[in-house]
Structure 1
Amino acid sequence: MPDLFDKIEDGRDEGAPGKAAADAPRPLADRIRPQRISEIVGQGKVLGPEGPLGAMLAAGSLSSLILWGPPGVGKTTIARLLARETDLSFVQISAIFSGVPELRKVFEAARLRRQNGQGTLLFVDEIHRFNKAQQDSFLPHMEDGTILLVGATTENPSFELNAALLSRAQVIVLERLSLADLELLAQRAERELGRPLPLTGEARDRLLEMADGDGRAALNLIEQIMAWKLSGKLDTDTLSTRLMRRAAKYDKSGDEHYNLISALHKSVRGSDPDAALYWLARMLAGGEDPRYLARRITRMAIEDIGLADPAAQRHCLDAWSTYERLGSPEGELALAEAVIYLALAPKSNAAYMAFSAAKEEARKTGSLMPPAHILNAPTALMKEQGYGAGYAYDHNAEDGFSGQNYFPEGMKRPILYHPAERGFERDLRKRVDWFAKLRQKRNLKDGET
């Protein structure tokens, strides 16, 4: 699908359009397409004087680029206008419909243009759909200046593009259009069509919200409304009845999935139940599997609350079990209650950090044996080797604590667990300190403390 303000070049297709197609009215998005970089809406951070593309244009030096952003924010339009600003021949291909034979033809044509003194800006839509080998095919032609590559992607380039390509192209991040940006597009559309949108103020706001930051979607909705035969202005309820709200962009296997679960996790960690509920609702509305959410919520209880509130993990497991019994939508409330509980629970990652430190100690010390006095001695030979000799049975010791060393011989005793002064871990800290004093009281050797 063409991007915002995209245009099919006349004469590009082999088959000439029929008369009916030629006489068809041009889409609104095509009619109000920007003709200059300064007319592009919503990307001032990258196109302004202080932005990376603005600085490149000011210096008269453009490098290969990867335009990363959601649909309908102007990726194709920017590429076209960059070619115009730098006097390069604009060639567009889509990774969905192109393979190695098409790429060879494109590179050969660009080489011939270069011999005639004309550079080529090759715009590759959906560039992330090319496999790694196909991506590598661009490299020599970028290196020798045959093409200046501008790729467009809605996916995170760090995961979808290979390192060699990324090292030769600057990644430019484009943002969703704000409501103010969409309002500017609506005003341009009204000027082009010669009449205002037949909407009340609240309905107009609702229309722009429906576009969800997608300029192309906004213009399509406006064009649809303008085609209706209306005698007055539509209010919000009537507009909502006539138009279906666009589903929020949510890719359950892509960036949006990881961005939103990260937002949920950090909201819980930050003790903000309102934000946590919002992100939970966003993921459920996007079609996320509630079982995945149940698993991740339980992990939050283990990682960020831990022993500060041991009931938190049990609460999550109960919510998970409740969902399994009730399903959606009834069971989703149990997950919401678990999220609220976690957000308001005392926080501690002491157990998480202690286990991480223990794994590091295990890695460094290798295969050191436990001290002989805590080894079982089921055979006479093992007894002769000193296994179990000197073991003190803690239940027989004063305070039920012998204070013996349980780390390998010669290993300096590490302190791995540092309880937080929050929730139940305040009590655990008292116990840790008490046992430490008893250990000192037993006058153990320095290497065993």
Structure 2
Amino acid sequence: MADLFDSSPDGTPEPHADAPRPLADRLRPKALDEVIGQESVLGTDGPLGAMLAAGTLSSLILWGPPGVGKTTIARLLAKVTDLHFVQISAIFSGVPELRKVFEAARMRRQNGQGTLLFVDEIHRFNKAQQDGFLPHMEDGTILLIGATTENPSFELNAAVLSRAQVITLKRLSLADLERLAERAEREMGRKLPLTVEARDVLMEMADGDGRAMLNLIEQVMAWKVPGPLAPDALAKRLMRRAAKYDKSGDEHYNLISALHKSVRGSDPDAALYWFARMLEGGEDPRFLARRLTRMAVEDIGLADPQAQALCLDAWQTYERLGSPEGELALAQAVVYLALAPKSNAVYVAYKAARQLAQKTGSAMPPAHILNAPTKLMEEQGYGAGYQYDHDAQDGFSGQNYFPEGVKRPVLYAPPERGFERELKKRTEYFAKLRSRRSSA
């Protein structure tokens, strides 16, 4: 095996030019304009394009899903800026390895050579390790480029973020993956042995990951088949790639947000899609049941009082049936909520009531609605003048129930949607009666 490797300038072994190389490595772009799918970042009007044009490259955090070119872009930035490229992974590196990297970069700097340090999975470093980069970033020993699949706002120190610009890289579109497939076919000198429909299925399997796409292509190209394969034949030979989903990470919150907003937007098809995406990703159906119930309370409320009860019934049905049968009850709740009339009037009123309660502090209720169980309290006027509503005309006295000095607010304003049309009539009716009683 020794003859398959050469030595790099720093002494580490590198593959010999004639050694076998994976397709993804052979197709690695040699210039930034060859990178597929990140034109909005690398173009002349993009943040990186503008930096390079101005000759002022700063430390960066490349944030994006796997297989979108984070490592490739870092390598090419080192090449364009004539910096020595050093790559480490936060998974395999600790404080001793970082000290060696910083010392080597310091020696390089004394000899007139800058260092671009690429840290893969930088979010896996703890706070102390992340803080260790700061002095070397500030004195110019290194130009840091970190790569992460997690939201930097949650995973990286504020001090690191303040010294680096976050660049967001997007998952590759089907059009981007098609360009990548065409590039692979040119490299291998032949077309993929797939029908048009199977070719589309292959790209869907890649799920926006360029590296995964090239690995799949390499597998397909190695098959000896008599003719183009149809989607069914392809599916038998290849396992569909698991969707990217972290039940405790950024994707978890992104998808539940998509589900919630699809329900709020009265789109049952989109809501079912995001519900299914979360289940396919391994989400706990009980979490979904809880969130659906919250949607019924927050976004539908009294516009359809049945919505909350239906969610609780679906939740209980799931608990009795389990998966997968019980998930159908949750799916029914998803559709019902999406098509139900929407109202956040009680939610808005509740928040306004909390704010008013905080503002008015410990203001006492008016004396006429206080009970007087003792003689002293009776002498203090407790309960004096209270009107028993059942004895009043229309069963409504119209008395004031807010503290003295607090101007009567309108907290609950029901819209004319669903059952709240009826509640709106009731509030208007009592408002008229109250006005008559006060004027009388």
TM-score, normalising length from structure 2? 0.95
Tell me the residue number matched to 2:367. 372
Aligned ranges for residues 205-354 of structure 1 at < 5 Å?
205-354=200-349
1:194 aligns with 2:183: no
CA distance in 2, matches of 1:13, 1:242: 42
Please list the CA deviations of residues 45-68 of structure 1 after superposition, one character each: whole Å capped at 9, or x if unmatched. 000111111111111110111000
Change (3 A) 1:16 1:90: closer
CA distance in 1, matches of 2:223, 2:314: 48
CA distance in 2, matches of 1:126, 1:155: 9
Percent sequence identity over matched residues? 80
Amino acid across the alignment from 2:8: G
What is the RMSD of the two structures over their aligned residues, measured on CA atoms? Answer: 1.9
Tell me the residue number matched to 2:8. 11
1:203 aligns with 2:198: yes
Tell me the residue number matched to 1:406. 401
Tell me the residue number matched to 1:47. 42
Tell me the SS of whatever aligns to 1:72.
coil
Which has the larger displacement, 432-441 or 351-360?
Answer: 432-441
Per the TM alignment, residue 163 of structure 1 is displaced from its structure 2 partner at its CA by 1.3
Per the TM alignment, residue 324 of structure 1 is displaced from its structure 2 partner at its CA by 1.0
Change (3 A) 1:136 1:317: same
Per the TM alignment, residue 444 of structure 1 is displaced from its structure 2 partner at its CA by 6.0
Per the TM alignment, residue 379 of structure 1 is displaced from its structure 2 partner at its CA by 2.0
CA distance in 2, matches of 1:200, 1:429: 60
Please list the CA deviations of residues 376-412 of structure 1 after superposition, one character each: whole Å capped at 9, or x if unmatched. 2222222222222221111111111111111112111
CA distance in 2, matches of 1:168, 1:214: 29
Of 352, 370, 383 in structure 2, the residue corresponding to residue 388 of structure 1 is 383
CA distance in 1, matches of 2:405, 2:239: 71
Tell me the residue number matched to 1:5. none
Change (3 A) 1:187 1:422: same
Change (3 A) 1:399 1:29: same
1:423 aligns with 2:418: yes
Per the TM alignment, residue 85 of structure 1 is displaced from its structure 2 partner at its CA by 0.3
Please list the CA deviations of residues 240-295 of structure 1 after superposition, one character each: whole Å capped at 9, or x if unmatched. 00100001111111111111111111111111111111111111111111111111
Number of residue pairs matched?
A: 436
Tell me the SS of whatever aligns to 1:57.
helix
CA distance in 2, matches of 1:232, 1:339: 44
CA distance in 1, matches of 2:408, 2:83: 68
Which has the larger displacement, 290-299 or 134-143?
Answer: 134-143
Amino acid across the alignment from 2:189: G
Segments of 5+ residues of structure 1 without an aligned counterpart are 1-7
TM-score, normalising length from structure 1? 0.94
Tell me the residue number matched to 1:128. 123
Which has the larger displacement, 37-46 or 228-237?
Answer: 228-237
List 4+ stretches of structure 1 deviating above 4 A.
12-17, 21-24
Tell me the SS of whatever aligns to 1:121.
strand
CA distance in 1, matches of 2:391, 2:365: 22
Per the TM alignment, residue 15 of structure 1 is displaced from its structure 2 partner at its CA by 6.8
- Whether contact under 8 Å (2:398, 2:438) holds in the other structure is no
Segments of 5+ residues of structure 2 without an aligned counterpart are none
Per the TM alignment, residue 16 of structure 1 is displaced from its structure 2 partner at its CA by 4.6
CA distance in 2, matches of 1:67, 1:23: 32
CA distance in 2, matches of 1:131, 1:438: 64
CA distance in 2, matches of 1:114, 1:161: 27
Tell me the SS of whatever aligns to 1:188.
helix
Tell me the SS of whatever aligns to 2:418.
coil
CA distance in 2, matches of 1:354, 1:66: 42
Amino acid across the alignment from 1:125: D
Amino acid across the alignment from 2:162: S
